[in-house]
Amino acid sequence: MPDEIPFDLSDVYSGLDDPAINKTINQLNSMVDTFIKKHQGKIKNYDADSVLDLLIEYEKYLEVVSNLRIFAGFSFYGDMTKKESQTLYNQFKEINAINAKKLSFYNLELGTLLLEKPDLLNNKILHNYYHYLEQIQELTIHRLTPAEEQLVIEKDLYGVNAWSDLQSKWSSTREFEIEVEGKKEIFHMGERNKYAINENREVRKQASYAVSKDVVKDGEIYSYALRNIFSDWVAISKRRKYSKPIDASLLYNEIDQTILDNMFSVIEKNVQMYKRVLKIRAKLLGLPKLAPYDTIAPIPGMKDKKYSWQEAQELILSAFSNFDQEFVSIAKDMFERKHIDATPRKGKTAGAFCSAWYAGKSSFILQSFNENLESITTLAHELGHAIHGYLMYDKQTLINCGYPSTAAETASFFGELLLIDLLLNKVETKEEKIDILLRLVSRIGHVIFGLTPMYWFESDIYGAIERGEYLDYSAITKYWVSARDKIYGEEIEWYEESNSSWCLVPHYFLANNRFYNYPYIFAQLFVYALYQQYLKEKETFLPKFKQILSAGGSIPLNQLGEIMGLDITKPEFWELGIKQFEYFLNELEKLI
Ligand SMILES: [Zn+2]
């Protein structure tokens, strides 16, 4: 385990016992009380000046909330076993939930006002907030009456939320038994991955069969949960006057169905590329064909290269310096102010994230730095998010600092690409280059091609529900297999029970959180297309790229594309992103 990497949250509060924390809590409560007294029931009569005051006051409140969120969140997720951090985090969540409920009139009344007086949107005084107000107005069209909204919350509690809980409790409490070197081993669902990356193929196979056979046995339980969660969404979407189940998601992600259809048809047209990745993997594993339990298996003889924290910093700064000095100075600021919690420790949450800190015009990052390639790639990714934040705070007010998930990964994926570019130029051995490229095309290929059938399957299930089909285990499985095979074809030797894997995809069972995957595919291809543009334009690319990063969420997604000289409504746009993927794949194939 690497040494402790210093992390410092004291820019926000000096410690968990800082009296300023309580002051902030009191300040938040009084801000909410004042806000209610001043605005509740009155917004419907506001003119542009009063709307501006309202928005500025709301932004001030959000800014104070963000101070507490950063401090409580990073203290807690850095060590979830620490009592004091748990207490503060729970207190924060509680206060936030209560205040959000008290302030729910804000969106409702503002939306109603904007529907009644649409001219307000074009008022010069409110120019800065045009896109935000436009979104509130649009969302209001799909809002139900307050009594109906309340009823939806109540029925979800014993409806979709309960189905969602059932799937997660049921799957996470199953136990499986296998035999490893003559000894019995029992494992839980959460330990599946440990076996999927085992070097011994027989162990991987046994674990895969043990899980999938058990899932098939419970197939009807999973089908009940899935069918009800999906049917509920179809019904509620209609109530909210959406013409299709995907419409709410398209609205949130600021794209339309044609853009999405173009993207998926370009992916389908280029599916052969993913098959090439799977063929390379099979070859390196010495197999004629992959089985479902070989897809993330380690390649024999490939060693994880070690990088110290110091080396990671130097590599990233050097990668960014090939692109832009401001990128370098922001990354340096993050390192120097110790705003990155990178030490792996017991009780720390898995994964990595970056949070914007508006009041301090900075960001904070959490990750577990394990001294390997994956860790430095993650660091470059999260620093990309931090850079996005710094550039945005400089130009935008807080409300405009939120963006849709389709645009959220612009700087982070770009940061990764800059690092990969540097590493590929620096490698000393062929093996090292194969290692970097194989990891890259496997990971990105999984996003672009591997997630695509997830979208097709979800769309197909909604279609089946609307046609009135009864979806039992075998009907749902047929849809799953048909979507899956459009991408994987004959490249993987599936076995009967492995067709049940849809039962274990957690986000299909998330209540009211639909079409989870496609924004990732979109974001990935969007950035790869930008990178192609960068390689073509070099110097003229940079100012435009920084302009879209600093725009934050102040303008819609299609305008970000326009600034870059790219039309996201055209199929050619997606071909550009695929081309970047193909470049890495070609490079890899040359070495195999
Ligand atoms: Zn990210």
Secondary structure (DSSP) of 35-63: HHHHHTTTGGG--HHHHHHHHHHHHHHHH
φ and ψ of 255, to 5 deg: -135, 175
DSSP state of 346: T
Alpha helices in 257-308 (DSSP H): 257-269, 271-285
Residue 69 Cα to ligand 1 midpoint, Å, equals 19
CA 387 to chain centre: 17
Residue 187 Cα to ligand 1 midpoint, Å, equals 31
Residue 580 Cα to ligand 1 midpoint, Å, equals 19
pLDDT value at position 405?
87
Burial of 271 (0-12, 13-18, 19+ CB in 10 A): middle
Residues paired with 248 in a beta bridge? none
Residue 357 Cα to ligand 1 midpoint, Å, equals 16
pLDDT tens series, the chain, 592 aa: 557 899 999 999 999 999 999 999 999 999 999 999 999 999 999 999 999 999 999 999 999 999 999 999 999 999 999 999 999 999 999 999 999 989 999 999 999 999 999 999 999 999 999 999 999 999 999 999 889 988 998 999 999 999 999 999 999 899 999 998 899 999 998 888 889 999 999 999 999 999 999 999 999 999 999 999 999 999 999 999 999 999 999 999 999 999 999 999 999 999 999 999 999 999 999 999 999 999 999 998 887 789 999 999 999 999 999 999 999 999 999 999 999 999 999 899 888 999 999 999 999 999 999 999 999 999 999 999 999 999 999 999 999 998 888 999 999 999 999 999 999 999 989 999 999 999 999 999 999 999 999 999 999 999 999 999 999 999 999 999 999 999 998 999 999 999 999 999 999 999 888 999 999 999 999 999 999 999 999 999 999 999 999 999 999 998 999 999 999 999 999 999 999 999 999 999 999 8
Residue 60 Cα to ligand 1 midpoint, Å, equals 26
pLDDT value at position 190?
80
Residue 414 Cα to ligand 1 midpoint, Å, equals 11
- What gap in Å lies between CA 32 and CA 96, rounded to an integer? 11
Residue 412 Cα to ligand 1 midpoint, Å, equals 6
Alpha helices in 240-371 (DSSP H): 247-253, 257-269, 271-285, 309-321, 325-336
Residue 400 Cα to ligand 1 midpoint, Å, equals 19
Token digits of residue 544: 């435009």
- Edge-first strand order for the sheet with 362-366 is 340-341, 362-366, 353-357
Residue 109 Cα to ligand 1 midpoint, Å, equals 33
pLDDT value at position 54?
98
Residue 353 Cα to ligand 1 midpoint, Å, equals 7
Total-model pTM: 0.92
- DSSP symbols for 494-546: --GGGGGGGGG-GGGGSTT----SHHHHHHHHHHHHHHHHHHHHGGGHHHHHH
- What gap in Å lies between CA 220 and CA 217, rounded to an integer? 8
Planar angle of CA 430, 431, 437, nearest 5 degrees: 90
Residue 477 Cα to ligand 1 midpoint, Å, equals 31
Helix 373-395 and helix 325-336, axial crossing angle in degrees, nearest 10: 110
Residue 407 Cα to ligand 1 midpoint, Å, equals 10
Residue 411 Cα to ligand 1 midpoint, Å, equals 9
- DSSP symbols for 56-76: HHHHHHHHHHHHHHHHHHHHH
Nearest to 219 by CA among 467, 480, 511: 480
Residue 43 Cα to ligand 1 midpoint, Å, equals 37
Q: What is the pLDDT of residues 103-154, one digit of tens each?
A: 999 999 999 999 999 999 999 999 999 999 999 999 999 999 889 988 998 9
Structural domains for the chain:
19-141 (1.20.140.70), 309-446+519-591 (1.10.1370.30)
DSSP state of 304: P
293, 207 Cβ separation under 8 angstroms = yes
Residue type, 555: I
pLDDT value at position 1?
56
Residue 354 Cα to ligand 1 midpoint, Å, equals 8
Nearest to 353 by CA among 324, 386, 325: 386
Helix (H, G, I), strand (E, B) or coil at 412: helix
- What gap in Å lies between CA 374 and CA 75, rounded to an integer? 24
Residue 378 Cα to ligand 1 midpoint, Å, equals 9
pLDDT value at position 129?
97
Token digits of residue 149: 């909204």
pLDDT value at position 303?
79
Cα-based torsion angle of the residue sequence 54, 58, 59, 63 in order, rounded to the nearest 10 degrees: 160
